[in-house]
Amino acid sequence: MSEATAQPGAGYPSSECAALILAAGKSTRMRSRLPKPLHPLCGIPLTRHVIRACRHAGISRVIVVVGHEAEAVRAGLGDDVEYALQAEQRGSGDAVQACYSLLKDYRGLTLVLAGDVPLLRPETLTALIQRQMQTRAAATLLTAFLDDATGYGRIVRGADGSVEKIVEHRDATPEERAIKEWNPSIYCFPAQDLFAALKEVRSDNIQGEFYLTDVIGILRQCGGRIEALPMEDSSEALGVNTRVELANAASILRQRILNRLMLSGVTITDPATTYVDVDVQVGQDTTLEPQTFLHGSTVIGEGCSIGPFTRICDSRVGDNTTIVSSQVVRSQIGNGVRIGPFANIRPGCQLADHVKIGDFVELKNATLAQRVSASHLSYIGDAEVGEETNIGAGVVTCNYDGIQKHRTIIGKGAFIGTHTTLIAPVTVGDGAFIAAGSPINQDVPADSLAIAREKMSVKPDWAKRWREKKERFHAGR
Ligand code: UD1
Ligand code: MG
């Protein structure tokens, strides 16, 4: 037996804590080509929620153990954490062992948890670490209770109530299976005690795996004390193993996000049909109407009205803006803007204050200055429009010649008549006036009128003669 296990918990000079997040498993039950740690949950990958809880608990060193689809998981989770590779999935104990080379000289605490428990709150982790620091036990673990804890490891306590070991469900006796206290798999150990005990773990169990849970019994047998901290809210320990559990976790997280927003001064008319990702920010006195979806890095200002039936992704919206039944993607929207119903604001748009975009208007990569109005049925793509210009119904920028995209530049205070086609590249000067129905394929100088259409002709009595011809035709049949 090593020195460290001889006196587990006896002392560690440092009060730092590193987190080990186990995410190397195959996650067969997800039945997915996408590795489980990367399944999106309220806008970020599943395991990012766990990383985030660690960070918010003040843990700066986070090591994620990857194995199955290791490269994809690393790329998807980002490079602000360290990674350890578990080449072969031989159990949770072996996964922790994979971190040894990174931590062999480390003398602080380690928090060990799985990468599929996205509902954990930072406060819960902080309480666990603090308990370990105060008691200097050989290990501190969270526990939870369920009338039927089938599938989970059970916490076996001795006659004096102290934790003796954890038995996995599959290895448990009928008496042990009746235990309601189960192991959520969230632990804090002095690092070197953990690694010393891991050396003693064997795989002589039903699954033939190296169980991390065996470390508890080993530390105890070496004279160490195991502290258990029952969780206040055991739904935090909910693991995601199937897509049913993923949806369940999403609905709990979503409710938390909405509650936070409501308590900060956002009105949510119908929380049951409002979907807001975890990083979205919404200002005070904004109202989110039913069927509103706010995704990614979206930021909404104060006093806005968003929805019903609106989807906004990775966009920034100013104050006092109204967006009804519309979609906005990767765009910047100013203050006092009105959008919708039924507008599609595609990536790369910038709408200055008091712009008005009405029904069936599509914008893409377009910059609209203050008070531009495009109220109906337009496509404005790869364009710049100066302030106070009016875009009539059915105006279309022809930005694509089948090979390349071209820009349309329109000055300020211009009037673009109904059904104008602007064949790019083309520039319309300040204050210019384009007559309705004009295809414009040359630049229009400032303050001039452009009219490009067939001269209208009228044929008197033509319609009357046509009707008479029609009547003769039918009479002759
Ligand atoms: C584990 C616990 C069990 C606990 C349950 C809570 C063990 C032996 N048992 O069981 O007591 O009640 O969690 O959810 O730990 N992993 C790896 N490499 C491996 C195997 C697993 O990284 O070789 C990772 C998995 O990706 C997962 C975590 O370790 O994140 C737990 O492994 P899993 O096989 O799901 O253990 P459970 O059977 O859920
Ligand atoms: Mg599991």
Predicted confidence at residue 8, as pLDDT, reads 67
Triad 265, 266, 267: Cα angle to 5°: 120
- pLDDT per position as a tens digit, 408-459: 999 999 999 999 999 999 999 999 999 999 999 999 999 999 999 999 999 9
Report, as an integer, the average pLDDT of 70-77. 98
CATH number of the structural domain 3-237: 3.90.550.10
User: Is the separation of the CB atoms in 166 and 179 below 8 Å?
Assistant: no
Regarding the beta carbon of 115 and ligand 1, being less than 6 Å apart is answered yes
| Banded model confidence at residue 11, pLDDT cuts 50, 70, 90 | low
| Banded model confidence at residue 9, pLDDT cuts 50, 70, 90 | low
Predicted confidence at residue 4, as pLDDT, reads 43
pTM of the full predicted structure? 0.92
Q: Whose CA is nearest to atom 36 of ligand 1?
A: 92
Ligand nearest to the CA of 237: 1
Interatomic CA distance for residues 284 and 303, integer angstroms: 6
> In the predicted model, is pLDDT for residue 2 greater than 50?
no
Query: What are the residue numbers of the active site?
Result: 376
Regarding the beta carbon of 35 and ligand 1, being less than 6 Å apart is answered no
Ligand nearest to the CA of 36: 1
| Banded model confidence at residue 477, pLDDT cuts 50, 70, 90 | confident
Q: Which atom of ligand 1 is nearest to the CA of 241?
A: 35
Long-range Cβ contact pairs of 366-375 (< 8 A, separation 24 or more):
369/412, 370/334
Q: How many helices (H) and strands (E) does the chain have?
A: 11, 40
- The fold adopted by the segment(s) 251-450 is UDP N-Acetylglucosamine Acyltransferase; domain 1 (2.160.10)
Predicted confidence at residue 5, as pLDDT, reads 45
Q: Which atom of ligand 1 is nearest to the CA of 91?
A: 23
Residue 136 burial (CB count, 10 A): 14
Ligand nearest to the CA of 168: 1
Ligand nearest to the CA of 156: 1
Domain boundaries, the chain: 3-237, 251-450
Report, as an integer, the average pLDDT of 380-404. 98
Regarding the beta carbon of 189 and ligand 1, being less than 6 Å apart is answered no
Regarding the beta carbon of 215 and ligand 1, being less than 6 Å apart is answered no
Regarding the beta carbon of 52 and ligand 1, being less than 6 Å apart is answered no
Of 13-27, 175-189, 214-228, 271-285, where does mean pLDDT reach its minimum? 13-27
Regarding the beta carbon of 185 and ligand 1, being less than 6 Å apart is answered yes
User: Is the separation of the CB atoms in 246 and 41 below 8 Å?
Assistant: yes
Predicted confidence at residue 412, as pLDDT, reads 98
| Banded model confidence at residue 7, pLDDT cuts 50, 70, 90 | low
| Banded model confidence at residue 15, pLDDT cuts 50, 70, 90 | low
Q: Whose CA is nearest to atom 35 of ligand 1?
A: 25
- pLDDT per position as a tens digit, 97-149: 999 999 999 999 999 999 999 999 999 999 999 999 999 999 999 999 999 99
Regarding the beta carbon of 92 and ligand 1, being less than 6 Å apart is answered yes
Interatomic CA distance for residues 370 and 247, integer angstroms: 42
Q: Whose CA is nearest to atom 11 of ligand 1?
A: 153
Predicted confidence at residue 1, as pLDDT, reads 37
Predicted confidence at residue 202, as pLDDT, reads 96
| Banded model confidence at residue 6, pLDDT cuts 50, 70, 90 | low
Which residues have C-beta within 8 Å of that of residue 199, sequence separation ≥ 6? Answer: 2, 5
Which residues have C-beta within 8 Å of that of residue 63, sequence separation ≥ 6? Answer: 18, 19, 20, 21, 81, 82, 83, 84, 99, 102, 103
Distance 41 CA to ligand 2 centre (A): 17
Distance 231 CA to ligand 2 centre (A): 18
Predicted confidence at residue 82, as pLDDT, reads 98
Distance 35 CA to ligand 2 centre (A): 14
- pLDDT per position as a tens digit, 240-249: 999 999 999 9
Regarding the beta carbon of 37 and ligand 1, being less than 6 Å apart is answered no
